[in-house]
Amino acid sequence: MKKAKALNQTYIRQWNKKFMIINHPILGPRDANEFVYKGDAELLNRPHWTPNATKRATYAEQEEFHDYLYLRNNPAGEHKELWYHEQGDRSWLIITRDTLTHQISKVELVREFLKEKVT
Amino acid sequence: MSGDFRLKGGRIDKNCEINFTFNGQSMRGYLGDTLASALLANKKHLVARSFKYHRPRGIFSAGSEEPNALVTLVKDNHSEPNLRATTIELYEGLEAKSQNHKGSLEFDLMRVNDFLSPFLSAGFYYKTFMWPKKFWEKLYEPVIRAAAGLGSLDMKSDPSVYDKGFLHCDLLIIGAGPAGLIAASEAANNGLKVLICDEDFLLGGRLNSDDEKIEGLSSVDWVRKKIGELKKLKNVRLMNRTTVYGAFDHGIFGALERKTDHIVNSHGKPRQVLWKVYSKRSLLCAGASERGISFGNNDRPGILLSSALRSYATRWAVKPGEKIAVFTNNNDGWRTARVLREKGCNVVAVIDSREDTSEQLYGINSYKGKTVVTTSGIKRIKSVTLNDGTKITVDCLGISGGWNPNIHLTCHQRGRPEWNHKTHCFIPGETPIGMKVAGSANGLFGLSEIIQETIAKTQAICKELNFTTKKATQIKASSQNLDIEPLWHVAESKARAWVDMQNDVTTKDIYQSHMEGFRSVEHLKRYTTLGMATDQGKNSNIIGLAIMAQIQKKPIEEVGTTIFRPPFTPISIGALAGRGRGKDFRPYRLTPSHKWATENGAIFVEAGNWLRAQWFPKNGETFWRDSVNREVKETRTSVGICDVTTLGKIDIKGKDAGEFLNRIYANNFGKLPIGKTRYGLMLREDGIAYDDGTTARFSENHFVMTTTTANAVLVFRNLEFYRQCIWSDFDVHLISTTDMWAQFAVAGPNSRKLLQKIVDKEFDISNEKFPFMGCKEITVCDGIIARLFRISFSGELAFELAVPTRYGDSLIRVLMEAGKEFQVTPYGTEALGVMRIEKGHAAGNELNGQTSAQNLGMGRMISKKNDCVGNIMSEREEFDDKDGLRLVGFKPMTRSQQLKAGAHFFSKGKKYNMDTDEGWMTSVAYSPILEHYIGLGYIKNGSNRLGEKVMSVDLLNNQIFEVEIVSPHFLDPEGERLRA
Amino acid sequence: MPKYKLKSNAPLANHKNVINKIKISSIEKVELFSLAIPIDGEKKAKTALAKVIKCKIPSPGNCVVSVEQKLKLLRLAPEQALLYFSNQNLPQIQKTLQALKKSFYITEQSDAWSGIKVSGQQVIACLERICPIDLSYDSFGINCFARTSMEHLNTIIIRNKRTEFELFSGSSSAKSFLHAIETSAQNI
């Protein structure tokens, strides 16, 4: 019985997994099931670091990386996050989603975003 | 047959008789009947027993909101409980049973509960199921809880076929009543792609039950005409028997279509299809449901909603009783009386709680300003008693307490409904984005108004979607005014007055809940169970809330409603599973040698989606380990072949491919010479090891990476992340080639000799020309392109040979043929596992997401030359702990002892607890070479403790014995064999 | 004559079936190549394509077809396209690839995918059971393609005619995918 219940839960979870649509900047609206969620778009800001063959990373260097890895904002409202179009064009996207309403206000290709940042 | 109880007309086919049984009793109905209408036509009013008190119950409604008439259907030797008789379409041979009674439906032995009711009030379980502890298993669960309930599950697997699908539209219209049909034709005429769904099998909604006039036609004729028109339009999809059960984000809806539930034999077609609907806009035209009034003994069979009486008489031509009365607080009750009389029924009285209504029907006694306080009759209502003491003999009573708009879907995105003080009902508040509401669902009850509003809203939707709109259609129709004066509960009633019949919740329970402090609606719901189960309180919730508001002396809107959640009506688990059951639960992947392996009797194992050969039993081998031992020994003494296609393969190209790999792997790859392969360890950013494999360099700008089978997708995703998001200025390109190449490991001292037989002569694969860790693009069997790698997972002289997948099946056959002279053996994943443990290679059990390069003994591999994923974080002090866990090997002191993976290690003489825990065994195998069990595991400071004896403790299996810490390289620690 | 010969076997070798008047058959003799566009190489790629296969480079998500050359070019992603040859001779293909080699990183993908052709009046009724993409003719016309997920499998769907589609999925899961399509046809 317990097993059956667990399986039923799996069916319900699978079906309800992602009832969302992501408006891909190139391909148009696609079912969110084609995408994989990664997390906060702050992950784009990976600290630069040059290792030293003779000594450990300094505490400050480690601290910077530690913050990059573990510290996240958890806003109630607009949130920029990374999604990957795995079952599609394999693009990484920055999606601006309101965590309260689930409304998606902006979808950008990471590549384009970074190009603009450089220029 | 049941002629006496049939009236003239109706939307049933009287030329098509249908036989069915109820509790074994044969009955007849007509095509177009529901089980409920057919039962009523057979004078069957008592059809169920109530949830808690086992009270006799009859059919109450004519739709999906039915609280009472739940039955079990038996079809294809499988029974399905808790189906509403009011929505079951009659088919030949239908077999229905009543539920929740001991003994017959008429003489339920559990009716004693009704007399015990003072003890079974709200919160009964919470107060009773307290102590003593042993009563839980002996009394509470098996006896008391079993006494309450709905139907019981068939414990057999559901034999029906289910499916799923996807639908797209500009406009989804939910409900095909007057509003829905008008919206559909208006939107379609303006060019929108329209999908219109209705849960009923007959489209038209209440137009099939109420005689109205539209465009000069009777409502039934108008519906026929409209549907005929819509069916001709290419941009309209009409779906009956389809319940839109949930409104999700971004215009996505869930809908359940009942495909073959109404057919005797589905011929293997799906019973139901669960659709995912993508809509740009939606229009909710779900209509409204009538509600009752709470008064003493208001739950007797023969008491129905007034609108249901009208439906049974008009749509199904059923005479619901011989002496009918109507109890109402609005004009709609009068309408019922009028319609019933027109149809030839005997209406004896209309009781209207309003003093000053002008409604009057000639020849029918009216009792204005009066209420019903109680009723009599056990299995069917016999009389009603009014608040002035008048007693009226009846066998059927219609109740009209007003209408509740079906606003459920407007609330699925957390929208909160608003109270309308004129019609005394909740109307939609904020709706999900893209949704509009029209018709009775929006609180309008006059047909003329409904039509006008619907057309206006449809035009607005067309404009929002940038369709040019034609001039709005003008449609004339009749109209009515409800003129309702709210009445929720007849306060003079002394007898128990039901609020929620499905859960046996009475007005008293609501008072009690309030007294005991459960005052929020959500608490009220949980404490009393009001509004739970299959009907989700469709006609009872509001009465409960209104009574709660009265007690708290607050307006209803301040009390609020509980949150509506999907599904609108129940959905069977089978429909949610769809076709994804049993072996179709998920897709499977086959290796190129699958067919050959099947022919050779392989036993398969699921590895992710892959089916891999686990071992190949030969004649006489009855125990799996016999086969595995043989495969290992033959490979180590001569040559073995294993299909390793499942390993993830990624072609990496570009000018910056080398530098990219430098940063992806913890160890250096940029300086890997062309024609060489290297083992690589991948870390996560936090320094934890997560995948390993080999990467070969075929040219300056071309590398081929392999990943573990399990992580192939994850690694690719990760590489794309770093390529696009972190080092986006690199010229590097990734392409998954896992399915492109069939790859076989050829291992053992004779592997080179075997390969030399098929590798084309111009390619020298001798040890000198093609040493350990070499890689090369070659041709085999006269010009077939191939990739050859000299890598070894087994620790033997070994190669991996890849050819395009189309040649994979042929290649295994050729290798087996060519290898005959060496007694070549195929080996499966078990032998592969044994050999890697003998050699001390880490795999999934060791890379479990908790272990670092240092734990694996690979700390020194981590690059200090450049920034790579995970190297900075693995410089954290904790990672460099000298006393940290190290991967080592273990041997049992008693050589015959079987080792257990998962056992924990303790120093001898120590207690076995968390504080003294020193590590754990990750992988074990029986080594046919060493002829005893061997294990790999992590233990503190392991590499400096070789030779020490510790305790292996498995408290779950109560196995405690001594093991010796040894090098993880059980065989050939110097690696002479693989360099041979 | 060498002693050992390798025979070619497609995963769905000449499969043909008709279910509820829907024709389902495996696609044979297709050669597929992934063309990756080097960073900042879009211009060069454009010129090369115009010269070699006389095609414009399609924008991402779109496809160009050359009937005389029996090829399609599907721009799967901003930096990647799939060059699809049907029924062409190998020397001709090799010649084309040689000419494109300087402008793209080319990786053969012929055996990575397995194709199934589905056709018939009711083809949409069949495919809508597994395909989340809107296949109505207005929004997905001839030569439109999409890469998506069907029954958990990564799939490329191409429309050939009003009532004919080609579907490609990984060759290792070809049988599983065929089963999904045939079940859909069965379940109409």
Question: Is A90–C154 a contact, with Cβ atoms under 8 angstroms apart?
Answer: no
The answer to whether residues B682 and B609 belong to one domain is no
Distance of alpha carbon C23 from alpha carbon C16, whole angstroms: 8
Contact B965, B889 (CB under 8 A): yes
Taking only the tens place, the pLDDT of each residue in A27-51 is 999 999 999 999 999 999 999 888 8
The residue of chain A with its CA nearest to that of B433 is A103
Q: Which residues of chain B have pLDDT under 70?
A: 1-4, 124-125, 128-133, 136, 139-148
- CATH architecture of the domain with residue range C30-110: 2-Layer Sandwich (3.30)
Q: Point out the residue among A53, A86, A102 whose CB comes nearest to the CB of B864.
A: A53
Q: Which of B573, B720, B871 lies nearest to residue A84, judging by beta carbons?
A: B720
Tell me the C-alpha distance between B594 and C172, whole Å. Answer: 10
Single out the residue of B805, B796, B838, B848 nearest to residue B971, CA to CA: B838
Q: Which of A30, A108, A109 to mutate to test the interface with C (most CBs of C within 10 A)?
A: A30
Quick one: B732 and B749 in the same domain? Answer: no
Mean pLDDT of chain C: 94
Of B720, B726, B863, the CB nearest to A46: B726
Are B622 and B701 members of one domain?
no
Verify whether the Cβ–Cβ distance B867 to A50 is below 8 Å: yes
Contact status of A89 with chain C (Cβ, < 8 Å): yes
pLDDT value at residue B719: 98
Domain final residue pick, B736, B752, B781: B736
Tell which residue, B660, B641, B741, has the closest CA to residue B701. Answer: B660
- Does one domain contain both B1 and B104? yes
Residue B201 sits in the same domain as residue B242: yes
Helix B447-464 / helix B178-189 crossing angle, nearest 10 deg: 30
Does residue B938 lie in a domain region?
Answer: yes
CB-CB contact of B539 with B65 (8 Å)? yes
Of B102, B135, B153, the residue at which a domain comes to its end is B153
Question: pLDDT tens, A87-101?
Answer: 999 999 999 999 998
In what helix (H) or strand (E) does residue B256 lie, and over which residues does it extend?
strand B252-258
Q: Which residues of A touch C80 (CB under 8 A)?
A: 90
The answer to whether residues B420 and B441 belong to one domain is: yes
Q: Chain B residues with CB inside 8 Å of C173's CB?
A: 587-590, 609
Helix, strand, coil shares, percent, chain C, to 5:
25, 35, 40
Same domain, residue pair B82 and B186: no
Question: How far is C-alpha C153 from the chain's CA centre?
Answer: 15
Residue A68 · residue A46 · CB < 8 Å: yes
Integer CA distances (angstroms), B757 to B779, B814, C4, in order: 12, 10, 8
Measured in whole angstroms, the distance separating CA B554 from the mean position of its chain's CA atoms is 40
- What are C65's two structure tokens? 């077809």
Q: Which helix (H) or strand (E) holds B173?
A: strand B162-174
Q: Are residues B593 and B725 in the same domain?
A: no
Query: Which residues of A are less than 8 Å from B248 in CB distance?
Result: 19-20
Domain boundaries, chain C: 16-28+112-186, 30-110
Residue A1 pLDDT > 50: no
Which pair of structure tokens corresponds to residue B836?
Answer: 């890697």
- Selecting from B270, B586, B654 the residue whose C-beta is nearest the C-beta of C105 gives B654
Radius of gyration of chain A from Cα atoms? 19
Nearest to A19 among B252, B863, B872 (CB): B252
b/e burial code for range B304-320 (CB count within 10 A of at least 16 → b): bbbbbbbbbbbbbbbbb
pLDDT of residue B27: 97
Tokens 């769905």 found at: C12
Could you tell me the CATH number of the domain that includes residue B694? 3.30.70.1400
Handedness of CA B189, B191, B197, B202 (dihedral sign): positive
We report the CATH number of the domain holding residue B394 as 3.50.50.60
Query: Under the phi-then-psi rule, with left for phi > 0, alpha for psi from -120 to 50, and beta for the rest, what region is B330?
Result: beta
Query: Are the C-beta atoms of B949 and B964 separated by less than 8 Å?
Result: yes
Residues B636 and B785 both lie in one domain: yes
Question: In total, how many domains does chain B have?
Answer: 6
Give pTM, 2 decimals.
0.94
The answer to whether the beta carbons of residues B748 and B832 sit under 8 Å apart is no
Residue of C nearest to A21 (CA): C132
Distance from CA of A75 to the nearest CA of B (A): 19
Average pLDDT over residues A56-68: 92
Residue A14 has what pLDDT? 56
By Cβ distance, the residue of B733, B780, B803 closest to C79 is B733
Instruction: Name the CATH superfamily, with its identifier, for domain C16-28+112-186.
Output: Probable tRNA modification gtpase trme; domain 1 (3.30.1360.120)
Q: What angle do CA B528, B533, B538 make, to 5 degrees?
A: 90
Q: Which of B801, B836, B871 is the last residue of a domain?
A: B836
Chain C positions in Cβ-Cβ contact with residue A26 (cut-off 8 Å): 59-61, 78
Closest CA to B417 of B305, B542, B502: B542
Residues B543, B466: Cα–Cα separation, whole Å? 43
Whether residue A82 is contained in a domain is answered as: yes
Of A12, A61, A84, the CB nearest to B872: A61
Q: Is residue B549 a part of any domain in this protein?
A: no
Q: Which two tokens stand for residue C40?
A: 């900042």
Q: Are residues B220 and B96 in the same domain?
A: no
Looking at the fold, whether B324 and B220 belong to one and the same domain comes out as: no
For residue B892, cis peptide bond before it (omega within 30 degrees of 0):
no
Tokens describing residue C180:
């999904």
Which chain C residue lies closest to B739 (C-alpha atoms)?
C112
- Long-range residue pairs from C67-73, CB within 8 A, at least 24 positions apart, any chain: C69/C96, C71/C96, C72/C143, C72/C158, C73/C35, C73/C49
Strands B648-653 and B640-643: unpaired
Q: Count the neighbouring beta carbons within 10 Å of the beta carbon of residue B277.
A: 25
pLDDT digits over C43-60, tens only?
999 999 999 988 889 999
Query: Which chains does B contact via 3+ CB–CB distances below 8 A?
Result: A, C
- Compute the distance between CA of residue B46 and CA of residue B59 in angstroms, rounded to an integer: 8
Residue B601: helix, strand or coil by DSSP? Answer: coil
Q: Which of residues 2-61 of C touch B (CB under 8 A)?
A: 2-11, 34, 36, 38-39
Report d(CA B493, CA B361) in Å as an integer.
27
Decide if B843 is inside a domain.
Answer: no
- Cβ within 8 Å of residue B186, ≥6 positions away: B454, B455, B458, B459, B462, B472, B473
* Residues B748 and B624 placed together within one structural domain of the fold: yes
Coil, strand or helix at B875: helix
Contacts of C38 in chain B (CB under 8 A): 654-655, 731, 733
Strands B365-368 and B347-352: parallel
Q: Angle at CA B35, nearest 5°, toward B29 and B40?
A: 70
What chain B residue is nearest to C187 in terms of C-alpha separation? B269
**Poorest-confidence range of B805-819, C83-97, C135-149?**
C83-97
Residue B744 CA to residue B643 CA, distance in Å, equals 5
Best mutation target, C37, C130, C131, C133, to test chain A (most A CBs within 10 A): C133
Query: What is the torsion angle, in degrees rounded to the nearest 10, for the CA atoms of residue B540, residue B541, residue B545 and residue B550?
Result: -10
Cβ contacts of C78 on chain B, cutoff 8 Å: none
CA–CA gap between residue B800 and residue B796 (Å, rounded): 12
Handedness of CA B401, B403, B409, B415 (dihedral sign): negative
Q: How many folded domains does chain A comprise? A: 1
Q: Which of B179, B215, B221 is nearest to B198 (CA)?
A: B179
Structure tokens given for C182: 């045939």
Torsion C55-C60-C65-C69 (CA) sign: positive
Q: Are B307 and B332 spatial neighbours (Cβ–Cβ below 8 Å)?
A: yes
Q: Is the confidence at residue A4, as pLDDT, over 70?
A: no
Could you list the residue range(s) of the whole structural domain that residue B751 is in?
A: 589-646+740-836
Q: How far is A116 from chain C (nearest CA, A)?
A: 15
- Establish if C154 touches chain B: CB-CB under 8 angstroms: no
Contact yes or no for C47/C127 (Cβ under 8 A): no
Chain A environment of B727 (Cβ under 8 Å): none
Q: What 3 state SS string does B269-303 have?
A: CCCEEEEEEEEEEEEECCCEEECCCECECCCCCCE
Q: How far apart are CA B869 and CA B171, in angstroms?
A: 48
